[in-house]
């Protein structure tokens, strides 16, 4: 797919004129790579010092975050009362549902931690009874199907896909359904083709089957997903390992991989994505992971839509602070993600000598810039 005129202007706007002129014989990927490297080089002289994050509102704000638990545990799923309780035992729950250490569920326990991400045997089903898993039938064409509803909650998804409300499958579908939510909210699913860079991947590498649901829900969309992160195993680097499609309709979901940090991936020269999605990215942890500073700079300055999620509202607000420090305001304010993982715990955070128990939930809070 070729870039449109707007994308070409955007990609080359920060390239020095002499480099653009000398690149006339170069392919478009090389031009893109020069643009990204120039943008990253600008960071050395233009990036502001990271200002210390202080919780806006202090103790009162922490108390408000603590009180958000009721909203975070509010799921329209029958089993969520158990999985969000303080007495919840994840291993026992999985065992009762007969999925413990099976297929895609292997990453939901502690038994396979010694195996690197993406190196478990590929799961071909959900290890659940038929009524507890998504219908595996190929989607109908848009003409035969009529207008699909936009799904905005787990309950609506279960009803649309014919899944019994006692099924635990939402626990392993939070990543793909969050991507579905973002694609529909930003109306990227109506463009025919969308390119998504999924950054910081780990568990997703062993739960690829779940992304087939994006084809079931958006069967006319040609969706190209690139999973990027240092946890991508060498065996998958620059490979295209999964493609979900059907005979009826033009849509498909194609998944490829890049091993490395996101700004390094962009610096090799790749097409501008429709969306960058970073589930549980923890972008604020630039002191612990210095490579994130370059990624944050690139996400803030390049201008393509970026959506991130975080385990806590406090972490999401720290990410907001990082973008604000780089001169970018949120276009998608921090809010609860309707497709957060329906397992909620709490974590204790100290502030000026006072401890606050705030809700902790994978994919729990969502925010975005340039959307």
- Lowest-pLDDT choice from 113-127, 129-143, 175-189, 315-329: 129-143
> Confidence band (pLDDT; 50, 70, 90) for 212?
very high
Domain 47-76+173-369 has CATH 3.40.50: yes
User: What pLDDT does residue 191 have?
Assistant: 81
Whole-number Å distance between alpha carbons of 235 and 360: 33
Element (H, E) at 214: helix 212-217
Q: Helices H, strands E: what count in the chain?
A: 14, 10
**Is 96 a residue whose pLDDT tops 90?**
yes
Tell me the per-residue pLDDT of 277-320, one tens digit each, with 9 for 90 and over. Answer: 999 998 887 777 778 889 999 999 989 999 999 999 999 999 99
CA-angle at 179, arms to 175 and 310, nearest 5°: 60
The crossing angle, in degrees rounded to 10, of helices 28-46 and 291-302 is 110
DSSP 272: P
pLDDT at 55 over 60: yes
Please tell me the predicted confidence (pLDDT) of residue 133.
92
More confidently predicted of 158 and 36: 158
DSSP class per residue in 257-271: EEES-HHHHHTTT-P
Indicate the DSSP class of residue 231: T
Percent residues over pLDDT 70 in the chain: 88
Which run of H or of E encompasses 242? strand 240-245
Give the pLDDT confidence score for residue 144 in this predicted structure.
53
Phi and psi, residue 263, nearest 5°: -65, -30
Report CA-CA distances (Å) from 154 to 180, 277, 345.
12, 20, 19
> Where in the chain are the domains?
47-76+173-369
205: confidence class by pLDDT, cuts 50, 70, 90: very high
Answer for the pair 58, 349: CB distance below 8 angstroms, yes or no: no
344-369 burial, b at 16+ Cβ within 10 Å, e below that, comes to bbbeebebeeeebebbbbbbbbbbbb
Structure tokens at 43: 């960071």
- The distance of Cα 337 from the centroid of its chain, to the nearest Å, equals 11
What is the structure's pLDDT at 239?
A: 86
Q: What is the DSSP letter of 189?
A: G
Strand partners, 138: none
The mean pLDDT value for 151-173 works out to 95
- Please state the three-class secondary structure of 333-367 as a single string: EEEECCCCCCCCEEEEEEECCEEEEEEECCCCEEE
User: Among 336, 330, 280, which Cα is nearest to 309's?
Assistant: 280
**Predicted local distance difference test score (pLDDT) of residue 247:** 61
């Amino acid at each position: 797919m070729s870039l449109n005129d707007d994308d070409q202007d955007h990609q080359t706007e920060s390239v020095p004129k002499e480099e653009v002129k000398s690149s006339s014989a170069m392919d478009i990927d090389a031009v893109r790579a020069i643009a990204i490297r120039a943008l990253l080089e600008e960071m050395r002289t233009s990036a502001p010092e990271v200002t210390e994050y202080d919780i806006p509102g202090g103790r009162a704000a922490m108390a408000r975050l603590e009180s958000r638990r009721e909203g975070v545990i509010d799921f329209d799923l029958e089993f969520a009362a158990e999985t969000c309780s303080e007495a919840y035992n994840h291993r026992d729950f999985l065992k009762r549902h007969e999925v413990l250490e099976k297929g895609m569920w292997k990453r939901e326990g502690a038994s396979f931690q010694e195996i690197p991400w993406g190196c478990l045997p590929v799961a071909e089903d959900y290890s659940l009874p038929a009524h507890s898993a998504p219908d595996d039938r190929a989607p109908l064409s848009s003409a035969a199907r009529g207008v699909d509803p936009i799904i905005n909650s787990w309950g609506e998804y279960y009803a649309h896909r014919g899944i019994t409300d006692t099924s635990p499958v939402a626990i392993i579908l939070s990543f793909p359904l969050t991507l579905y939510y973002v694609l529909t909210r930003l109306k990227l699913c109506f463009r025919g083709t969308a390119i998504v860079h999924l950054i910081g991947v780990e568990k997703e590498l062993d739960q690829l089957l779940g992304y087939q649901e994006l084809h079931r829900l958006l069967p006319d969309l040609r969706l190209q997903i690139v999973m990027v992160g240092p946890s991508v195993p060498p065996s998958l680097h620059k490979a295209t390992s999964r493609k979900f499609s059907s005979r009826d309709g033009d849509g498909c979901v194609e998944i490829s991989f890049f091993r490395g940090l996101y700004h390094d991936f962009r610096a090799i020269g790749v097409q501008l994505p429709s969306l960058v999605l970073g589930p549980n990215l923890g972008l604020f942890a630039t002191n612990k992971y210095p490579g994130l500073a370059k990624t944050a700079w690139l996400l803030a300055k390049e201008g393509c839509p970026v959506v991130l999620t975080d385990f806590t509202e406090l972490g999401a607000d720290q990410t907001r602070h990082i973008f604000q420090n780089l001169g970018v305001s949120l276009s998608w304010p921090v809010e609860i993600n309707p497709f957060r993982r329906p397992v909620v715990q709490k974590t204790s955070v100290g502030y000026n000598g006072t401890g606050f128990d705030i809700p902790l939930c994978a994919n729990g809070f969502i925010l975005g810039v340039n959307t």
